[in-house]
Structure 1
Amino acid sequence: MAFELEGLYIFWSITIVILLCATYVYVNDRALTQIPSRAQAVSPNRWTKEQLEQVATKVSKSPFSVKEKLPPKTGRRYIVTGGSGFLGGWIIQQLLERGESPENIRNIDIRPSNRRDFASGPASKVAFFSVDLTSVEQVKAAFSAPWPKLGNNQSEPEITVFHTAAIIRFYERHPSLVPLSAKVNIDGTQNVIDASLAVGASVLVSTSSTSVVEFASRLLLWPWEKESKHFVSVVRDDSPLPKRVEEFISVYCYTKLEGENLVNAADKKVGSSGKILRTGTLRPGSTIFGPGADSFEYFIQQGGMPSFFANMVQNFIYVENCAQAHLCYEQRLVELSQGSSNPDIGGQAFTITDPGQAPMWNDMYAAIRHFTDGGFKATSVSPTVVLFIAYSMEVYYLTRHFLCSSKLPLLPHIGKMLPALKGDLLNLQPPTLGLSLMHIIVDDSRARLPPEKGGLGFNGMYTTLEGVYRCCDEFKRNGSLRLNFLKAGFGHGK
């Protein structure tokens, strides 16, 4: 009898625990997936089937000339760090599209481009320099390498630097991990600034991220809490900035802001040749996507993705719009260096995003499904369950990291015996969810102002919906823009 009572006690204890856990998951999921009225207000309309069909017809049958949407050719020399990457590659293509000579463009990256459109045509003639940005000597050597000889009576062109290179470890948040991102995002950025000054560059435009202004939030809520702190984040140029590492969503965000500050502080510094360097940074928001984006192309190829943030309202920026904004900022800085009377916008950070209403991720899924003829499906999963898994992954990741970096005997050997997290498991850590489970509203109204009013005169070529169509259409017709690509988790393309 006692044995039976003990068995019943254990059974009901386990049942109650399971019910309590299930209830918590339900309540927390409801809080994390809701759409507050202030987010609904900026995104009241969902994309309809008619809109999707209209966009497909418009973009496919009435394409415009990209060249007409870009600032005019300058004849300057261009150094693009990260030119083999996603955004950097598109900046190079737009420079070529508007008529810049491939001989005047230099791609500085750790490895050559693996894009199809770099294998032939003008892009194949762009000089590539294999460079580790953490090496002062390598960066200076690549920047100062001789350019092709000029013709008779040709003066030396001015130099513009586009700094897009970064290490994107968005899954880390522990302060001890800062050096892993800082060596490229901070020290490497300083190396680029120093090399720019050394070769007499007159313009430096750097790529930052809207994530530098987004605060970390606790996502496992108390049952009585209605939403997480910073659940709806409105991102503007003058948004308050996190200060301590722990306030940032990840150490990547912290290091990107530090790099941004270095670039902006270098504005109006005089280089070794006596030329004045004008600088500025752009904060794309919030996810950069388009042909060549590993994450989007991977999920299109796989025919779907798991999603725990389908209801999140977030602005996006299509990669060609993002590249265009970099050329707009360059144009403004060149004009200032030539004596323009427009307001001085050097040494500043501008937020940029696609024109039009911010969509929900559900809108993105519906559009991808439509443009791939039903070949894509987003499978809903519980964000709270994913959070529990993410915290477990983080504990394992940090345990292995601290063991491997320990100075005590045997501990590093034990750490190396533990398999390293890779792929989706590596990405599946709390900072990744912190970026996903937020309504991120990006206000780039200042960047859209005309130059005479202190803006960039930026107006994206494509809406987000048009960008999704271009991405899907390119993949359907030609496959990935990259000859090979690595998947990146949860659609983050920063």
Structure 2
Amino acid sequence: MTEGLSLWSLGLAVIVVGALWIYGVNRTMMTVPPEAQKLSPDSNRWSKELMRETYERVKKNPIDIKKHLPPKLDRRYIVVGGSGLVGGDIVAHLLARGQSPEGIRIVDFAPLRRPDILGVASNVDVIKTDITSPNSVKAAFSKPWPASVAGLPLTVYHTAAVIRPGERSLQTYDRVARVNVGGTANVLAGAKEAGADIFIATSSSSVAVKPMKFWKWPLPSLASNYVQVFNEDDFDQPLKAHDEFFGNYARAKAEAERLVCAANQEGFRTGVVRPGNGIFGDVENDVTFGPTLKAGDIVSWTPHVSQNWISSRNVSIAHLQFEAALNPSVRAVPPPCAGRPLLVTDPCPPITFRDFYSTVSTLSVTPVTETYPPPVLMLILAYAIEGWANLIINFPILTKLFGWKEPTGDLAMLQPAVFTVSAYTICDDSRARKSVEEGGIGYTGVTDTLTGFCEQMAVWNARVERGEAGPLKGKGAAAPVVA
């Protein structure tokens, strides 16, 4: 009897301690650390009045992007991934500053589909290409150019990538490495063979992010890497071990950018742009506005968390400014930025996810609801989803016998790795803002995050009013956007 009572008491104690620990983890996840508060104080939060004023201003006076573009260069261009978000903006900006459509070539697996640039880019050559195939890349790069531009020097922008932020297992690494590392190697080889003398690739600020750890015994309040301020210093250190990246995507990007930077040499100048953090810019193709507005539901554990965001137009301009810095016609001696990555972000302080959610719900002509579950429950669910995915990966016989499959869609994204890039990740892009002589590219973003958000909302609302937004799922009918 006494022994049974002791076991019962021990079990109860374990449950109580476990519950208190989980409560502590949840409390930590809902807390705004003092260092984060200093970087993004409550006084920076956007009021609804400010959102509406900015929205009306943007509708009446859209930003004239032409005024902010580096001057036209007498060159021809291959934009790998030119059908996507950043690549599409690069194509649009090249055309806006006066480059001939004959001198621009889009190399992409997907067709050009962005409504905002379909018209201006209608005369640009688009070559369907699998960058994991050396032969496919070679064919795209070796296609003859029109005589009017064939003799011009060649710049290659490499923006194509596979993004799978939830995965961190070595067993799934090839899913991103095949395109992001192997594809980059193929594009580099194709660019060299085609005679390019400038090569600029898009990486990610997440390369520098360290994995976050909440499960700290006995004090969950001591979560590690919850607030991170970073720049490009990691590039000057040996490549980190796999488990020191937040996930497979970051490691693949780190390997790819080192390939690009190592290729820098006389006659072939290279550079890498690290956008930070989330990129937004097209309600049809980005992973923020489009899914949120079409679903009409937001499920988030991070409304209080602050991060930097960046408009895809700012990312594009950083690429053009990098090209201008590397241009051998202007600088016979390679500048300090050659063969290095540079981080860029919007020219404003970091914002909270609630700023984004409030902008959407305040300005959208379609309804958007917000749900904020306890963060720790989402974290526990994420571990369960990751465990299930790893089970299917390790035992494929389960798929053959029972039809069990890995999670897809939002569930596939909701894995522990995502919690790191959903924490306080603050970008320091001071190096990119320096002059070319000082090691930067003279980076200047053209739009702050609020203005960029309002531009996207204006585009979305106009599409809805014209009946061009597609099917809207609405509350309860859509898979929620997890952020």
Residue 121 of structure 2: SS of its match in structure 1?
helix
Q: What letter corresponds to residue 26 of structure 2 in structure 1?
A: D
Match of 1:349 in 2: 341
Question: How far does residue 301 in structure 1 lie from its aligned partner after superposition?
Answer: 2.0
After superposition, the C-alpha distances for 1:336-377 in whole angstroms (9 at most, x for unaligned) are: 454357843210110000011111111221222222258333
Match of 1:142 in 2: 140
1:38 partnered with 2:31:
no
Distance of 2:434 and 2:257 partners within structure 1: 22
After superposition, the C-alpha distances for 1:62-115 in whole angstroms (9 at most, x for unaligned) are: 334211100111131111111111211111111111111112111111121222
Match of 1:26 in 2: 23
Distance of 2:87 and 2:207 partners within structure 1: 20
Question: How far does residue 451 in structure 1 lie from its aligned partner after superposition?
Answer: 2.4
RMSD (Å) for aligned C-alpha atoms: 2.8
Q: What letter corresponds to residue 419 of structure 1 in structure 2?
A: K
Match of 2:276 in 1: 285
Q: What letter corresponds to residue 98 of structure 2 in structure 1?
A: G
Q: In the alignment, is the contact (CA less than 8 A) between 1:114 and 1:482 conserved in 2?
A: no
1:228 partnered with 2:223:
yes
Distance of 1:482 and 1:450 partners within structure 2: 42
CA change 1:64–1:174 in 2 (3 A) is closer
CA change 1:175–1:481 in 2 (3 A) is farther
Q: In the alignment, is the contact (CA less than 8 A) between 2:134 and 2:186 conserved in 1?
A: yes
Match of 2:186 in 1: 191
Distance of 2:63 and 2:288 partners within structure 1: 27
Match of 1:268 in 2: 265
CA change 1:389–1:74 in 2 (3 A) is same
Q: What letter corresponds to residue 129 of structure 1 in structure 2?
A: I
Match of 1:244 in 2: 241
Question: How far does residue 294 in structure 1 lie from its aligned partner after superposition?
Answer: 3.6
CA change 1:225–1:28 in 2 (3 A) is closer
Residue 40 of structure 2: SS of its match in structure 1?
coil
Q: What letter corresponds to residue 133 of structure 2 in structure 1?
A: S
Match of 2:78 in 1: 79
Q: What letter corresponds to residue 135 of structure 1 in structure 2?
A: S
Question: How far does residue 181 in structure 1 lie from its aligned partner after superposition?
Answer: 1.6
After superposition, the C-alpha distances for 1:261-288 in whole angstroms (9 at most, x for unaligned) are: 000011115xxxxxx1110001100110
Q: How does 1:29-428 map to 2 (within 5 A)?
A: 29-44=26-41, 45-119=44-118, 121-150=119-148, 156-239=151-234, 243-268=240-265, 276-291=267-282, 292-334=285-327, 336-339=328-331, 343-372=335-364, 375-404=367-396, 413-414=400-401, 417-428=403-414
Question: How far does residue 390 in structure 1 lie from its aligned partner after superposition?
Answer: 0.9
TM-score calculated relative to the size of structure 2: 0.89
Distance of 1:31 and 1:106 partners within structure 2: 49
Question: How far does residue 239 in structure 1 lie from its aligned partner after superposition?
Answer: 4.2
Question: How far does residue 484 in structure 1 lie from its aligned partner after superposition?
Answer: 9.7
Residue 413 of structure 1: SS of its match in structure 2?
helix
Question: How far does residue 252 in structure 1 lie from its aligned partner after superposition?
Answer: 1.0
Q: In the alignment, is the contact (CA less than 8 A) between 1:278 and 1:337 conserved in 2?
A: no
Distance of 2:130 and 2:122 partners within structure 1: 22
Distance of 1:126 and 1:104 partners within structure 2: 8
Residue 115 of structure 1: SS of its match in structure 2?
coil
Residue 377 of structure 2: SS of its match in structure 1?
helix
Question: How far does residue 483 in structure 1 lie from its aligned partner after superposition?
Answer: 7.7
Q: What letter corresponds to residue 276 of structure 2 in structure 1?
A: G
Q: What letter corresponds to residue 154 of structure 2 in structure 1?
A: I
Q: What letter corresponds to residue 151 of structure 2 in structure 1?
A: E
Question: How far does residue 464 in structure 1 lie from its aligned partner after superposition?
Answer: 0.5
Distance of 2:329 and 2:479 partners within structure 1: 41
Q: Report the number of matched residues.
A: 467
Residue 222 of structure 2: SS of its match in structure 1?
coil
Distance of 2:32 and 2:193 partners within structure 1: 51
Identical-residue share of aligned pairs (%): 35
Distance of 1:373 and 1:98 partners within structure 2: 34
Q: In the alignment, is the contact (CA less than 8 A) between 2:291 and 2:481 conserved in 1?
A: no
Distance of 1:261 and 1:118 partners within structure 2: 32
Residue 25 of structure 2: SS of its match in structure 1?
helix
After superposition, the C-alpha distances for 1:314-341 in whole angstroms (9 at most, x for unaligned) are: 000011111111111111111x454357
Q: What letter corresponds to residue 436 of structure 2 in structure 1?
A: P
Question: How far does residue 303 in structure 1 lie from its aligned partner after superposition?
Answer: 2.1
Distance of 1:38 and 1:69 partners within structure 2: 34
TM-score calculated relative to the size of structure 1: 0.87
After superposition, the C-alpha distances for 1:399-426 in whole angstroms (9 at most, x for unaligned) are: 111223xxxxx56734x72133211111
Distance of 1:34 and 1:215 partners within structure 2: 20
Residue 168 of structure 2: SS of its match in structure 1?
coil
After superposition, the C-alpha distances for 1:121-178 in whole angstroms (9 at most, x for unaligned) are: 231211111111110100011011111232xxx7711111110111112111112222
Question: How far does residue 20 in structure 1 lie from its aligned partner after superposition?
Answer: 5.4
Distance of 2:260 and 2:172 partners within structure 1: 23
CA change 1:342–1:143 in 2 (3 A) is closer
Residue 268 of structure 1: SS of its match in structure 2?
coil
Q: In the alignment, is the contact (CA less than 8 A) between 1:294 and 1:487 conserved in 2?
A: no
Distance of 1:76 and 1:376 partners within structure 2: 45
Match of 1:457 in 2: 442
Match of 1:407 in 2: none
Question: How far does residue 307 in structure 1 lie from its aligned partner after superposition?
Answer: 0.5
Match of 2:455 in 1: 470
Which 10-residue stretch deviates more, 110-119 or 235-244?
235-244
Distance of 1:109 and 1:179 partners within structure 2: 20
Question: How far does residue 298 in structure 1 lie from its aligned partner after superposition?
Answer: 1.3
Distance of 1:20 and 1:483 partners within structure 2: 50
Q: What letter corresponds to residue 249 of structure 1 in structure 2?
A: F
Q: In the alignment, is the contact (CA less than 8 A) between 1:108 and 1:129 conserved in 2?
A: yes
Distance of 1:218 and 1:293 partners within structure 2: 28
Distance of 1:189 and 1:49 partners within structure 2: 43
